[in-house]
Amino acid sequence: MSTEETEQGCEGEKSNLHPRSYSQRAITYDKPTAAIFTAAARPSLLARVNDWLNNECVLGYVLLVPALALLLIFVAYPFFFGTYISLTDARIGKPGHFIGLQNFIDLWSDPIFRQTVGNSFFYTIVTTIFKLPLGMLMAILLNQVFPLKRLVRAAVLLPWIIPTVLSTLAWLWMFDSTYSVINRILKDVLNVQGPIWLSDSLYTLRTTDMTIFRLTWPMISISMVNIWRGAPFYAISFLAGMQTIPQELYEAAVVDGAGAWQRFWRITLPLLRHVIIIVLLLSIILTLADFQIVYILTRGGPTNSTHLFATYAFQVAVPSTDLGMGAAISMYMFPVLAIVVFLTLVSLRRED
Amino acid sequence: MRVKPRAVVMRFATTYIPVFAMTAITLFPFYWMVVTSFKADNELYNIKANPLVVLAPVFTQYQRLFNDTLFPRWITNTLLVSLASTAISLAFSTLAGYSLARLRYRGATTIGWAIFITYLVPPTLLFIPLLGVVSSLGLANSLLSLILVYPTFLIPFGTWMLIGYFKSIPQELEESALVDGATRFQAMFRIVIPLALPGLLSVGIFSFTLSWNEFIYALVFLQDATIKTVPVGVTSELIRGDSFFWGELMAGALLGSVPVAVMYSFLVEYFVAGLTAGAVKG
């Protein structure tokens, strides 16, 4: 988004009102064409609307109306409505009463919610730690010269573009407790007995009276699918960024005796900064707010140990019909998202 | 030029082998879908057989999918929703993108940022209140609800990509048309939009696939099996309780993925360029 143009409002142009014949308007495109409002010319209504729209400023707003109207009705209004619902005890088919922050307070004593918060952060942080270097490695590979390059590029992007629930169904089948093809390969090739991917427990962090966080194979499986699906997005974005870096920079670096490693750290990485920040922003938001992978693989189970904010909100709001509580669970995502967005915008602004 | 053996080894170690490994891991789940969908049930659930190959390929899974399930119906529904929401979004984001990229007026920058922020609001934050909004508009359990709601995530994206495209078209072309007596509207529809057609095409294809893939709104808004979309239909109707019909499921997953895969294969390079146009110039 460029900010370099000067902005001017419609009202500033009234000073330009002066009688001018209607037919002359065409050559005044850069100046406001308010001449039609003078009594002298009195053109038809259509011509007047036409001329009014020819005003850069009026047209600018008019063209925004359809998009903004839709976004106001289906994004802005639901956002505030959702905030209101989270402050009520509404259920599906029953309006509910205002109960203040009760839902938000109750959630803190809900062990499933605490596990959900832990899962959401684990999922977002761990997958991002893998996706970022993996994506970079994939981009570097895709930027090399090798046979069938275009085909490989298209193939590598597939996990990201195919409907997530459908590819996750393939993973669900690969994780099957009896027929898991992954375990079959592990057994036949490496002679290793694989876990029961979607139910085995690994590690439990607990105090004497309560469980703080459980790390389970299901959570790891879910993260693996997310990395598989998300890394191509990093890769393709980084690849796009790499292709905008002038080749001369590398040539000059080679002349100066820089090795491949130095060229990467001193040229590629700094020039990709902008792309990296944007990709991280989008990826962190999508991962924290993810729904599909968990919904397909575990539905939050076993025993509610793998919920993320979105799947727990769905389970409470839709099957259990507790809209108020569900909305409150979703709303807990908001401050985290807001902080991520804020930090990104700040770091992007600082560059300009 | 003679190639040194050592250079060949290096090339394999640093490029060919890693590229092969990457491609294999990426494609394995799709390979697994294909293999599963062509197996008969007795082969599919035979623990002794080599799972990675099909010994006797059959079409029974596909036949079942088309004869015993509503899969063809879900394909039609998804196609309808995706085309309609893409058309709406493309029209609205073209207008908005043109306005923000080419016209100067107070508040343009702020509005541009506001649209960018809506791009960052995830659907999972909004589905509960949207269910209420959709119901109160009388659209619950209808495809129209999706056609109207999908543009909420398509318009912000489309507008931002199109701003990039519109900015790349020289201002002089439009100005000379205006000098020659064209109105702003004419300049927009006869000069700027035709020149931005490649951009419109890639935004269109991208919007289509995003709509095709959407899950949570379709899951929450639609109840009747006959009006479901492919992602929701396959996951909710082909999994009944604890019984998984893996053959049918994989056949459905594969066929449901083919349209987006085909569209993208034409577009990868384009898409890579468009991504930078939108993101890097941000």
Amino acid B267: pLDDT:
72
A284 touches chain B (CB under 8 A): no
Supply φ then ψ for residue A210, to 5 degrees. Answer: -150, 155
Q: Which residue of B has its CA nearest to A314?
A: B128
User: Which residues of A fall within a CB distance of 8 Å from B159?
Assistant: 67
> What does the pLDDT look like over A224-279, one tens digit per residue?
999 999 999 999 889 988 988 888 899 899 898 888 888 999 999 999 998 999 89
Residues of chain B with Cβ-Cβ distance to A166 below 8 Å are 230-231, 234, 252-254, 256-257
C-alpha–C-alpha distance, residues A253 and A264, integer Å:
10
Q: Which residue of B has its CA nearest to A244?
A: B276
CB B46 within 8 A of CB B252: no
Spatial separation of the C-alpha atoms in residues A176 and B236, rounded to whole Å: 18
Q: Tokens for A217, please give them.
A: 């194979």
**Exposed/middle/buried for A205, CB within 10 Å: 0-12, 13-18, 19+?**
exposed
Residue A174 CA neighbour count, 13 Å, CB half: 23
Residues spanned by CATH 1.10.3720.10 within chain B?
68-279
CA distance A273 to B52: 42
Distance of CA A48 to the CA centre of its chain: 44
Q: What is the pTM of this model?
A: 0.87
Q: By three-state DSSP, how is residue B23 classified? A: helix
Q: Using CA atoms, how far apart are residues A151 and B26, in angstroms rounded to an integer?
A: 13
Structure tokens, A186: 């592990």
| Interface contact A171-B22, CB threshold 8 A | no
Give the mean model confidence (pLDDT) for residues A5-11. Answer: 50
Strand A211-216 versus strand B243-244 pairing type? unpaired
Residue A36, pLDDT score: 44
Confidence of residue B281 (pLDDT cuts 50, 70, 90): very low
pLDDT at A40: 52
CB of B144 within 8 A of CB of B134?
no
- Residue range B108-119: average pLDDT? 88
By Cβ distance, the residue of B133, B155, B264 closest to A70 is B155
> A237 CB near a chain B CB, below 8 Å?
yes
Q: Does A196 touch chain B (CB under 8 A)?
A: no
How far apart (Å, rounded) are the C-alpha atoms in residues B253 and A170? 8
CA distances from B15 to A135, A236, A242, B67 (A): 15, 17, 17, 47
From CA B186, how far away is CA B195, in angstroms rounded? 13
Q: What is the mean pLDDT of chain A?
A: 84
What three-state secondary structure class fits A98? strand
More confident call, A145 vs A335: A335
Contact with chain A for residue B36, Cβ under 8 A: yes
Query: Does B45 contact A6 at a Cβ distance shorter than 8 Å?
Result: no
d(CA B85, CA B217): 13
Tell me the nearest-neighbour CA distance from B18 into chain A, angstroms. Answer: 8
Is B103 within 8 Å of A57 (Cβ atoms)? yes
Return residues 125-184 of B near A (CB < 8 Å).
125-133, 148-149, 151-152, 155-156, 159-160, 163, 167, 175, 178-184
Contacts of B179 in chain A (CB under 8 A): 26-27, 29
**Backbone region of residue A300 per phi and psi (left: phi > 0; alpha: psi in -120 to 50; beta: other values):** left
Supply the ipTM of this predicted assembly.
Answer: 0.90
Q: Which amino acid is at B227?
A: I
Residue A65 half-sphere exposure toward CB, CA atoms < 13 A: 5
The answer to whether A14 and A57 have CB atoms below 8 angstroms apart is no
Q: Do B26 and A155 count as a contact with CB atoms less than 8 A apart?
A: yes
> Which fold, B68-279?
MetI-like fold (1.10.3720)
Q: Which amino acid is at A204?
A: T
Between CA B161 and CA B179 the distance in angstroms is 28
Torsional class of B189: left (φ above 0), alpha (ψ -120 to 50), beta (otherwise) = alpha
Residues of A264-276 as b/e, b for ≥16 C-beta within 10 angstroms? eeebbeeebebbb
User: What is the maximal distance between C-alpha atoms in chain B?
Assistant: 78
Phi/psi for A287 (5° steps) reads -75, -45
pLDDT in tens, A91-114: 988 888 999 999 999 999 999 999
Domains in chain A: ranges and CATH: 11-86 (no CATH), 110-351 (1.10.3720.10)
Distance CA A230, CA B49 (A): 33
pLDDT band at A7 (very low <50, low <70, confident <90, very high): very low
Contact B118 A75 (CB under 8 A): yes
Note the pLDDT of residue A211. Answer: 67
Query: How far does the CA of residue A252 sit from the closest CA of chain B (Å)?
Result: 23
Contact call for A26 and B125, based on CB within 8 A = no
pLDDT of residue A12: 43
Cβ of A339 under 8 Å from any chain B Cβ? no
Cβ atoms within 10 Å, residue B84:
18
Give pLDDT tens digits for A144-174.
888 888 888 888 989 998 999 999 999 999 9
Taking residues A293-320, what's their average pLDDT? 93
Q: What is the mean pLDDT of residues A54-60?
A: 82
Q: Where are the beta strands (DSSP E) in chain B?
A: 239-240, 243-244
Which positions 227-246 of B are in contact with A (Cβ < 8 Å)?
A: 230-231, 234-235, 244, 246
Triad A215, A221, A222: Cα angle to 5°: 90
Distance CA A38, CA A40 (A): 5
pLDDT for A22 equals: 43
Is residue A290 within 8 angstroms of chain B, CB to CB? yes
Judge whether residue A21 has pLDDT over 70: no
Answer whether B231's CB lies under 8 Å from A163's CB.
yes
Would you put residue A33 in left (φ > 0), alpha (ψ -120 to 50) or beta?
A: beta
Chain B interface test: which of A10, A59, A64, A288 (most B C-beta within 10 Å): A64
Distance from the Cα of B151 to chain A's closest Cα (Å) equals: 8
What is the average per-residue pLDDT within B94-113? Answer: 90
- In this complex, which of A74, A154, A241 lies closest to B148 when CB atoms are compared? A74
Of the candidates B230, B2, B128, B78, the residue with the CA atom closest to the CA atom of residue A87? B128
**Cβ-contact B253, B234 below 8 angstroms:** yes
| Strand, coil or helix: B279 | helix
Mutation for testing the A interface, residue in B33, B105, B117, B209 having most A CBs under 10 Å: B105
pLDDT for position B198: 84
**Paired tokens of A58:** 């009026």
